[in-house]
Amino acid sequence: MIRPMNILLVDDEALARSRLRSLLGQNDSHPGLVVVEAAGAEEAKALLEEQAFDLVLLDIQMPGIDGMELARQIRLNPPSPAVVFVTAHEEHALHAFELEAIDYLTKPVRLERLQQALHKVQRLMASVQPSSDESQADYLLIHDRGRTERVPLADVLYLKAELKYVTVRTQLQSLILNASLNDLEASYPQRFLRIHRNTLVARAAIKAIEHTHVSQDGEGWVLRLEGLEEPLPVSRRQLSAVRAALSGDL
């Protein structure tokens, strides 16, 4: 069953927002769409802090913070909504996909293309729904140099995003997984905790949090895991969640 999709429509032109909202209303393949509008990046950021969205339909050229910068900021706060750019300018497409945009629509938007984009987002939403029974997927399947290895999730100490890949660290080895850190977080929320924008750790392995010197990015805390000598940086944004997990409140 297709669940309703929450959409944030961001465009500084009221007429453009009205047209896109009208197209969304004509879309019979995704009933029950909930659409909220923002006239700029600052308004959009405030709305994103207040409620969860599945999709941001985002213009690029806007006064102040443009759509590209807003998309970059959205990606820094996972789990983040899908982004589909809606713009009159074709030349930004490459940069848009570097920001992991789901699609890139050029104005005037046709209903057929909008529906295609919504289908892509719907498939993404379905793929990251956490399983009610993690025993059905209690391992990671890693393919490396013609060899396939099954790594039990119980052995994984942390997952760290490295460029387009994820480093899977166990007590005995480090492996490379072709996957999205956001998808892994959404799939196993009870098993892994985000401590940094690029790092998930095994909740069961959390040992201690320590204050250290303040680094250039302003972070002054590290996490210690059972079975691992390497300390892992904790971002200020995730500090309260890590403390709650350590005390057993999360």
Angstrom CA distances, 113 to 31, 86, 92, stand at 17, 11, 18
If asked whether residues 97 and 151 sit together in one domain, one would say: no
If asked whether residues 15 and 87 sit together in one domain, one would say: yes
Joined tokens for residue 21: 């909202």
If asked whether residues 206 and 100 sit together in one domain, one would say: no
User: Distance (Å, rounded) from C-alpha 236 to C-alpha 154?
Assistant: 27
If asked whether residues 64 and 155 sit together in one domain, one would say: no
CB 140 within 8 A of CB 177: yes
* Residue percentage of the chain with pLDDT more than 90: 49
Q: Kindly report the CATH number assigned to the domain that includes residue 237.
A: 2.40.50.1020
Residue range 55-88, pLDDT digits in tens: 999 999 999 999 999 999 988 876 788 999 999 8
Total count of domains within the chain? 2
If asked whether residues 167 and 220 sit together in one domain, one would say: yes
In a domain, 1, yes or no: no
22's torsion region: left (phi>0), alpha (psi -120 to 50) or beta? Answer: alpha
Q: Kindly report the CATH number assigned to the domain that includes residue 86.
A: 3.40.50.2300
In a domain, 42, yes or no: yes
In a domain, 114, yes or no: yes
Question: Which one-letter amino acid corresponds to residue 169?
Answer: R
In a domain, 43, yes or no: yes
In a domain, 134, yes or no: no
Of 6-10, 21-25, 185-189, the one with minimum mean pLDDT is 185-189
Residue 213 or 54, more confident: 54
If asked whether residues 191 and 241 sit together in one domain, one would say: yes
In a domain, 140, yes or no: no
The range of the structural domain enclosing residue 164 comes to 147-247
Residue 242 or 144, more confident: 242
If asked whether residues 13 and 123 sit together in one domain, one would say: yes
pLDDT band for position 213 (cuts 50, 70, 90)? low
User: Distance (Å, rounded) from C-alpha 39 to C-alpha 140?
Assistant: 42
If asked whether residues 99 and 183 sit together in one domain, one would say: no
What pLDDT, on a 0 to 100 scale, did the predictor assign at position 133?
44
If asked whether residues 123 and 208 sit together in one domain, one would say: no
Question: Which one-letter amino acid corresponds to residue 62?
Answer: M
Is 70 exceeded by the pLDDT of residue 7? yes
What pLDDT, on a 0 to 100 scale, did the predictor assign at position 132?
42
Residue range 126-138, pLDDT digits in tens: 655 544 444 345 8
Name the H helices within the chain.
14-25, 41-50, 67-75, 93-98, 111-127, 181-187, 239-247
User: Distance (Å, rounded) from C-alpha 226 to C-alpha 205?
Assistant: 5
In a domain, 139, yes or no: no
Of 95, 127, 159, the residue that ends a domain is 127
Joined tokens for residue 3: 């669940």
* Residue percentage of the chain with pLDDT more than 70: 86
Of 33-37, 123-127, 185-189, the one with minimum mean pLDDT is 123-127
